[in-house]
Structure 1
């Protein structure tokens, strides 16, 4: 694999630990933390519903709406304000333990680092600031600016244009099989971070790199370039 011109990082679950918001969502669902993964999956589903329908809605707005839908399905009354409160920890998530050391190594190796997220511009700014990650990235790209959610191919191509690179010169790093598949289909290089509970999408293009944590990324890039 040739050295990528830019490394693009997914944010939620890839860089940031979703445990606090999953706990908050589980509490809002009547003490059912096992339903939190279903909430996040439903959030992703309806973000794609909006994209396919040619509409753009704020990721947080979709998240709180999906939480109210899920609550209703399980006999829990949840107001709009309570739903928003339950998903608000999305803006203040901690980084996974491997993230800061890995970003330091990549920065020291002179890689250009950028985030690419489904979160809004305001939300990702809060996320990066709270997690102490802002200074590692030259910019933070949000799908808000293109009006479509990942994994739409236009998002990856737009992101490549924003960082001044051909899509084939970019590497997407993500812990979601759907994100890796979407980026690969759009022409990007990909690296899959095998966070617990995450899998690649078997019919999709296999990732160029598969690693158990971000700690291995710089070494893999160095070895393959």
Structure 2
């Protein structure tokens, strides 16, 4: 009996010590090994471009959301909510059109702020995502890359119809050699499998794919899929500190293009 009592006390003390450990110590004991992400810059075979906010300016759409909701800042919350619930559907093995998620997200933001809007009002605002203009640096940057012979592909969470309309209405569709929508895969970025699927679709090794994006979550997903990453610092965007650092970190597309054309 004394032996059993001693074992019980020893076990209790061990558990108590665990309880007194700092969170960082506990995390360190169960942390997964850091993936081996290559920081080597290779000349990419294909440039994959995120579209919303990276290439096209979302600010006019966010202002339309603010106008509908009679607010100065809910437009940004709406787009974040739209992204959040696209991730939720992927994690739940579901898929809905990105535009429909946008309408639902707008209704949710309105509801949580005690603002009454109809589904039709939400649809009328969200459809303006098809008519966004490119950022001022985009056309010159794309032209520079095209002149240098780069293969360029749009790679977006928008539907096939949605991205076709976006590129056409922004007068930049002629710069792209191909267009890839996650609609054909049934999951949204940043699911790692989406990037690897896109690489296979373009018959390109992962490490020769370069994602150009203005979202930290998108860059993180690409890097963890063994792609190269180029982050564009659009207003209000930043990198995820826990992700690997991207191969390129530039203020705009023109700056990135000027560096890419010099690669051998």
TM-score by length of 1: 0.97
The equivalent residue for 1:126 is 165
The equivalent residue for 1:40 is 79
Q: Which of 90, 94, 97 is the equivalent residue of 1:55? A: 94
What per-residue deviation string (whole Å, max 9, x for no partner) do you get for residues 143-165 of structure 1?
00000000000110111111110
Query: Which SS does the other structure have where 1:172 is aligned?
Result: strand
Confirm or deny: 8 A CA contact 1:114 1:138 kept in the other structure: yes
Runs ≥4 in structure 1, deviation > 4 angstroms?
none
The equivalent residue for 1:211 is 250
Q: Which of 207, 215, 228 is the equivalent residue of 1:176? A: 215
Q: Distance in 2 between matches of 1:202 and 1:109?
A: 33
Q: Distance in 2 between matches of 1:196 and 1:95?
A: 14
The equivalent residue for 1:112 is 151
Q: Which of 44, 48, 60 is the equivalent residue of 1:4? A: 44
The equivalent residue for 1:195 is 234
The equivalent residue for 1:80 is 119
The equivalent residue for 1:96 is 135
Query: Which SS does the other structure have where 1:22 is aligned?
Result: helix
C-alpha displacement at 1:38, in angstroms?
0.6
Count how many residue pairs are aligned between Structure 1 and Structure 2.
Answer: 224
RMSD over equivalenced CA pairs, Å: 0.9
Query: Which SS does the other structure have where 1:33 is aligned?
Result: coil
The equivalent residue for 2:68 is 28
Query: Which stretches in structure 2 are left out of the alignment for 5+ residues?
Result: 1-40
Task: State which structure, 1 or 2, has the greater radius of gyration over its C-alpha atoms.
Answer: 2
Q: Distance in 2 between matches of 1:41 and 1:218?
A: 28
What per-residue deviation string (whole Å, max 9, x for no partner) do you get for residues 6-41 of structure 1?
000000000000022111111121x21311111110
Confirm or deny: 8 A CA contact 2:148 2:261 kept in the other structure: no
TM-score by length of 2: 0.83
The equivalent residue for 1:16 is 56
